[in-house]
Amino acid sequence: MDASRFLDGSMAADVGFDPLGFADSNENLNKYREAELRHGRLAMLAAAGWPLSELFDVKIAKMMDMDPVIFAENGFRAPSVLNGGLGLISPLYWVGCLAFAGIFEAISISSPQFNEGIYPKSVSNKDQRWIQTAEIKNGRLAMLAITAFAAQEFVSHIAVVDQVPFFFKPI
């Protein structure tokens, strides 16, 4: 299968892999790269946040005199669609999340200038390229990790932090 003519190696982490031919224009390729960066960055936060929430949510909620979002009803697992935990969180919270996301997307659509990130100016172009490639690859790995967390908890009904306690012993 031929590589897309738009995947010419000019973007970080571009190895010419597009077996389904999605990169049929520079405009589409840039949209896909933007989506990959956004989802990768969010997944990197989630890959760290998921186990941290399972470890510290109840403790932090008690310190702040709030109700925890991790409940005994779902086995003290991070709330997800697969374990039914999302239904235990107040609908008002979800309305707020939707409103915030809607405002953010409205701003993004009205100003389509996508910023690939702020990288240190003191490093060479070669090093900046390496940093950008590392961000893309770590984002891809984090997207796989979050999928694996969800699948593990769905199949085993055991929290991620309890499945591998040697990684997640509370401090």
User: Residue 116, annotated ligand binder?
Assistant: no
User: Residue 152, annotated ligand binder?
Assistant: yes
User: Residue 128, annotated ligand binder?
Assistant: no
**C-alpha closest to that of 153 among 48, 75, 88:** 75
Cα within 13 Å of Cα(4), Cβ side: 19
User: Residue 157, annotated ligand binder?
Assistant: no
**C-alpha closest to that of 50 among 142, 119, 141:** 142
User: Residue 36, annotated ligand binder?
Assistant: yes
User: Residue 138, annotated ligand binder?
Assistant: yes
User: Looking only at Cα atoms, what is the longest distance across the chain?
Assistant: 59
Neighbours of 140 (CB within 10 A): 15
User: Residue 28, annotated ligand binder?
Assistant: no
Annotated binding site for chlorophyll a, which residues? 36, 39, 105, 135, 138, 140, 152
Annotated binding site for chlorophyll b, which residues? 41
Annotated binding site, which residues? 36, 39, 41, 105, 135, 138, 140, 152
